[in-house]
Amino acid sequence: MTAPLLETRGLTMRFGGVVAVDAVDFTLEEGELRCLIGPNGAGKSTFFKVLTGQLLPSAGTVRYRGRDIAGAAPHAIARAGIGIKLQTPSVFNGLSIRENLWLAARRKNGAKRADAVVDGVLSLIALAGSTDRIVGTLAHGQRQWVEIGTVLAGEPDLILLDEPAAGMNHDEVGRTAEIVRAINRTTSLIVVEHDMAFIRMISDRITVFNRGSVLMEDRADAVMRDQRVRDVYLGKKAA
């Protein structure tokens, strides 16, 4: 058996009295596509931020390919091969679509190869219109794709997507699911989403977060049948 791609043990993130991530043991195998669900405030985004070095964990370890990366700087973790699309779009708003992708691709490639990588990603995310447009002028859904494209252009081995389909219409959600499946042919992914239709399209293994802990981990149909999961979501809605 090979070592898992990513493994956290007792990973904890406290904000003062709030325990946003509470002793999480999480394992992701090479090549996997895992969905992460849970009500708002369950700690999914915080979990991602700890994994990518944006937050310093209060306790616990993060092993990526056997190497402990907990507490490393964001750029060092990115260089180790983890890419992330944040929940709130994080792009270079004043730069063109192509420049956004190029900056990602150029980091570990020469100029020529970077251009080729950018072209490849552009054809995958298939943005309509000119790639010289300034990203800040694009619609929300398009900017989400630019960010996904930028992450892809960095050619990471593990991609974290935080709510990639949020604010997208039905067609866009479908296209995003296609893109995610295409990415998964070569790359491991963890995807945070609320949209169950979207989750059914992309994944069969789901981890459910609630109040910072892992509530359960199973196949999509089993998770959706589970009474505890329903309670967690319905409880939130009633509140």
Partner 1 sequence: MIRTVLSLRVTLLCALGAAVLAGLAPQFVDTFTLLQATVFVAMAVLALSLGFIWGFGGILSFGQAAFFGLGGYAYAVGAFNFTDSTVPVILSMLVPMLFAALLGYFMFYGRISNVYVGVITLTVTLILFNVVNSTAGDAYRIGSAALGGFNGIPSVPGITLPFTGYAFAPEDDWYLAAGCLIVVFVGLKLLLASHFGRVVVAIRENEVRASLLGYDPRLYKLLAFVVGGGIAGLAGCLYTLWGAFISPTIFGLATSAQIIIWVMIGGLGTLIGPVLGAVAIQVLVTEIGGQQLLDANFVLGAILLVFVLVLPAGVVPTVERGVAALWRRGRRGRPGPAEAPAAHPLPGKALS
Ligand X SMILES: Nc1ncnc2c1ncn2[C@@H]1O[C@H](COP(=O)(O)OP(=O)(O)O)[C@@H](O)[C@H]1O
Which positions touch partner 1 (CB under 8 A)? 52, 54, 73-75, 78-79, 83-84, 86, 90-96, 98-99, 102-104, 106-108, 111, 115, 129-130, 132-134, 137, 150, 154
Binding site for ligand X (CB under 6 A): 15, 18, 20, 38, 40-46
Give me the least distance between CB of 209 and ligand X, in Å please: 6
Rounded CA-CA distance 186/216 in Å is 27
Residues 140-179 that bind Mg ion (CB under 5 A): none
Give me the least distance between CB of 18 and ligand X, in Å please: 5
Helix (H, G, I), strand (E, B) or coil at 230: helix
Nearest 5°: phi and psi at 209?
-100, 140
Give me the least distance between CB of 74 and partner 1, in Å please: 4
Helix (H, G, I), strand (E, B) or coil at 155: coil
Pick 99 or 193: Cβ nearer partner 1: 99
- Taking residue 97's Cβ as centre, other Cβ atoms within 10 Å add up to 27
Give me the least distance between CB of 48 and partner 1, in Å please: 11
Residue 43 binding target from Mg ion, ligand X, partner 1, none, CB below 5 to 8 Å by type: ligand X
Q: Are 24 and 213 in contact (CB under 8 A)?
A: yes
Residue 41 binding target from ligand X, Mg ion, partner 1, none, CB below 5 to 8 Å by type: ligand X
Rounded CA-CA distance 96/17 in Å is 42
Pick 86 or 135: Cβ nearer ligand X: 86
For residue 28, the 8-state DSSP code is E
Residue 123 binding target from Mg ion, ligand X, partner 1, none, CB below 5 to 8 Å by type: none
Residue 108 binding target from partner 1, ligand X, Mg ion, none, CB below 5 to 8 Å by type: partner 1
Residue 45 in contact with Mg ion, rule: CB under 5 A = yes
Q: Are 232 and 41 in contact (CB under 8 A)?
A: no
Size of the site for Mg ion (CB under 5 A): 2
DSSP states of 31-96 = T-EEEEE--TTSSHHHHHHHHTTSS--SEEEEEETTEE-TT--HHHHHHHTEEEE-SS----TTSB
